Amino acid sequence: MHSQNMGVLVEDTGEALERTMEARFQDHVVVITGAGGGIGRATALRFAAESAKVVAVDLDKSGLEETAVAIQQLEGEVLIHVADVTYADQVEGYVTAACEHFGGVDHFFNNAGIEGPRVPLTDYSEEAFEQVLAVNVKGVWLGMKAVVPALRERGGGTIVNTASIAGLGGTPFAIAYGASKHAVIGMTKTAALELAPDQIRVNAVCPGPIETRMMRSIERGTNPDQPEVEYERIKSRIPLERYGEAEEIAAMVAFLSSDDAVYITGGIYPVDGGSRAR
């Protein structure tokens, strides 16, 4: 090709790419659970920055309010909705609120989760086990159950479930958390197969240690007197030699939810600084 034409082609492609980036979620509605916490908030902000309307769901009202202020600073549109993901009526409530306020749902980031205690499996209480499974397994299933009809109404959509590297291997002293995140991966694959005919893509993101409240709690749970020692120990085992940032998970979720990932479903994606390469 003539070099001048080549220049025009490159310029056109660049402009087209810029338009694609800006428009990835223009007029789209995303529902995000756990949006008052670290990863959920960062992802809400990422979607808002890419022009999506955000429905932010959490148990924690003050966390949601902080998320809303941050989105409004970006001049984004946000609806906050307090709900406990373990109750079917409250889950249906956040989907109904999204449909009534924004007219429908295109993307779902099914992300609320709890870590549970750090204790040997022999000391783990039934109550703690049931609570971790209620939030991390039942809450994720109920979310998909309630959102899917709304995605079908739109002729398709996307779901990203938050699993963990704890869903890809054993996690000593976190029997229920490890079980729950393996279950999220199983549900993601099952849902991807069931929902492919509806043009609903379902993927999972598997964060390694990320700089949020949850890791601070895990460090304290493992070494109450010197959590900073536990922080250094965990960090030293990560090939990239640092914890991840919530924004680095948000980037993967946005990619998987976008048309850039239009041929990807049933995929399980570690974002972990190389931890699972060991």
Q: Which residues bind ligand NAD (CB under 6 A)?
A: 33-34, 36-40, 58-60, 63, 84-86, 111-114, 135, 139, 162, 164, 207, 209-210, 212-215
Cα separations in angstroms, 62 against 69, 70, 81, 246: 11, 13, 11, 19
The runs of H, that is alpha helices, within 24-87 are 38-49, 61-73
Active-site amino acid positions: 177
Minimum separation from the CB atom of position 254 to ligand NAD (A)? 15
Closest CB 111 distance from ligand NAD, rounded Å: 5
Q: In the beta sheet, which residues pair with residue 201?
A: 158
Compute the half-sphere exposure of residue 146: CA atoms within 13 Å on the CB side of its CA: 26
Contact (CB, 8 A) for 214 and 34: no
> What angle, 0 to 180 degrees and rounded to 10, lies between the N-to-C axes of helices 38-49 and 246-257?
50
Pick 199 or 232: Cβ nearer ligand NAD: 232
Give the phi and the psi of residue 133 in degrees, each rounded to 5.
-70, -35
Judged by beta carbon, residue 19 or residue 213, the one nearer ligand NAD is: 213
- For the bound state, the minimum distance from the C-beta of residue 95 to ligand NAD, rounded and expressed in Å, comes to 14
Question: CA 163 to CA 206: how far, in whole Å?
Answer: 5
Query: Is the CB of 151 or the CB of 205 nearer to ligand NAD?
Result: 205
If the CB atoms of residues 63 and 76 are measured against ligand NAD, the closer one turns out to be 63
Shortest distance, CB of residue 24 to ligand NAD, whole angstroms?
A: 22
